[in-house]
């Protein structure tokens, strides 16, 4: 029988976490799923750990890429193999509650959505506290998100939440009809780019306010280690988006312009920090003085510490498992 949901999981050197991620899929209350795990040229024991966790569960298929091509390439391989009516994106170092897939499917079917995503809880290995990613004012009730709203929060350090971090469940029919796949030139922000293109095709995202996804922050998390080259790639992707999506309306173009401006501010900030780390303090100071728009980012370490101390949801250690 055709699965209801194909869970797409890209993995690279995730041997410490991949078994727990697989366990959290196997623990789902929704029975009609398949898991497509694509190992992206790992150099550790990821594949062995994945095979051990999968056991003899024939709903799990594991594919191995010879060379590391990035998460977009790995997810495209999984999409080519997927048989489900829905595609759920899930990272190999994250966890989800038992009822997550069932809740997303129920929300999509009840509201007639072709894309649905839920709130996420970010956590680290240093404590058992989790922080809701979306503020309560934003995720108080189900809501529709169009392309303008999706793009408007802008860069990764903007005050509003960057919705590109959400892990969506997407109709396989929408992906087929829109002819959209991941941009393999991106190693960060590939989920955002895919979603923006789907929304530009006329789809809308239905936001489920319940937080059923646990997003693990650790030293090797790709999403939290933004390099200058990554930011430059995102700016280039925005430029391609403008060229290719000629039917964008005025509000959408303004929202995209704000996002790109935010990325350029972030790029200037990272270059300034690079100067400071290289001992070029005078050059860094001049860059700061000449670019007031980066001043709010200079308080980022202080704000990050405040977020670690306040605004967290306590979670008992035993709940940070596949059966959370």
Distance CA 253, CA 151 (A): 10
Whole-number pLDDT of residue 7: 98
Phi, psi dihedrals of residue 215, rounded to the nearest 5°: -100, 110
Distance CA 73, CA 175 (A): 16
Whole-number pLDDT of residue 221: 61
Whole-number pLDDT of residue 161: 75
Whole-number pLDDT of residue 279: 83
The per-residue b/e assignment along 85-103, b for 16 or more CB within 10 angstroms, e otherwise, is bbbbbbbbbbbbbbebbbb
Phi, psi dihedrals of residue 96, rounded to the nearest 5°: -145, 155
Whole-number pLDDT of residue 186: 94
Is residue 35 a contact partner of residue 25, using CB atoms and an 8 Å limit?
yes
Long-range contacts of 141-146 (CB under 8 A, 24+ apart): 141/209, 142/107, 142/111, 142/206, 142/207, 142/208, 142/209, 143/206, 143/207, 143/209, 144/204, 144/205, 144/206, 144/207, 145/199, 145/204, 145/205, 145/206, 145/207, 146/199, 146/204, 146/205
Tokens 């005025």 -> residue? 250
Whole-number pLDDT of residue 324: 44
Whole-number pLDDT of residue 55: 96
Q: Closest Cα partner for 77 from 60, 63, 91, 66?
A: 63
Tokens 């996420």 -> residue? 120
pTM of the entire predicted model: 0.84
Is residue 184 a contact partner of residue 73, using CB atoms and an 8 Å limit?
yes
Q: 42: Cβ–Cβ under 8 A, 6 or more apart, which residues?
A: 11, 12, 13, 14, 15
Instruction: State the distance between the two ends of the chain, measured CA to CA, in whole angstroms.
Output: 28
Q: Closest Cα partner for 7 from 42, 64, 59, 53?
A: 59
Per-residue pLDDT of the chain (324 residues; tens, 9 = 90+): 899 999 999 999 999 999 999 999 999 999 999 999 999 999 999 999 999 999 999 999 999 999 999 999 999 999 999 999 999 999 999 999 999 999 999 999 999 999 999 999 998 876 667 788 988 878 889 999 999 989 975 444 455 678 999 999 999 999 999 999 999 999 999 999 999 999 999 999 999 999 999 998 866 666 556 788 889 999 999 999 999 987 889 999 999 998 888 888 888 888 787 777 878 777 667 766 666 666 566 655 434 444 444 444 444 433 444 444
Distance of CA 51 to the CA centre of its chain: 25
């Amino acid at each position: 029988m055709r699965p209801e949901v194909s869970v797409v999981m890209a993995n690279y050197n995730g041997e410490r976490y991949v078994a727990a991620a697989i366990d959290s899929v196997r623990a789902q209350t929704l029975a009609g799923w398949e898991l497509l795990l694509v190992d992206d040229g790992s150099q550790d024991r990821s594949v062995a750990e994945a095979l051990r966790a999968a056991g003899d569960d024939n709903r799990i298929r594991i594919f191995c890429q010879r060379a590391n091509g990035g998460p977009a390439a790995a997810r495209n391989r999984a999409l080519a193999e997927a048989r489900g009516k829905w595609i759920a994106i899930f990272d190999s170092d994250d966890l989800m509650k038992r009822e997550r897939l069932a809740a997303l499917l129920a929300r999509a079917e009840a509201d007639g959505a072709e894309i649905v995503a839920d709130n996420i809880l970010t956590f680290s290995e240093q404590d058992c506290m989790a922080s809701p990613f979306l503020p309560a004012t934003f995720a108080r009730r189900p809501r529709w998100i169009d392309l303008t709203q999706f793009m408007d929060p802008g860069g990764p350090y903007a005050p509003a939440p960057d919705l590109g971090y959400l892990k969506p469940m997407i109709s396989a029919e929408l992906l087929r009809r829109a002819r959209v796949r991941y941009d393999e030139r991106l190693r960060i922000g590939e989920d955002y780019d895919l979603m923006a293109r789907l929304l530009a095709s006329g789809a809308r995202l239905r936001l489920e306010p319940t937080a059923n996804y646990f997003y693990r922050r650790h030293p090797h998390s790709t999403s939290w280690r933004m390099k200058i080259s990554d930011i430059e790639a995102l700016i280039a992707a925005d430029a391609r988006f403008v060229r290719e999506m000629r039917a964008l309306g005025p509000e959408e173009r303004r929202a995209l312009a704000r996002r790109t401006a935010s990325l350029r501010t972030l790029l200037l900030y990272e270059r300034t920090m690079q100067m400071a780390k290289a001992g070029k303090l005078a050059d860094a100071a001049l860059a700061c003085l000449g670019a007031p728009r980066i001043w709010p980012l200079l308080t980022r370490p202080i704000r990050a510490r405040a977020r670690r101390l306040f605004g967290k949801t306590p979670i008992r250690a035993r709940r940070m498992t596949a059966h959370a």
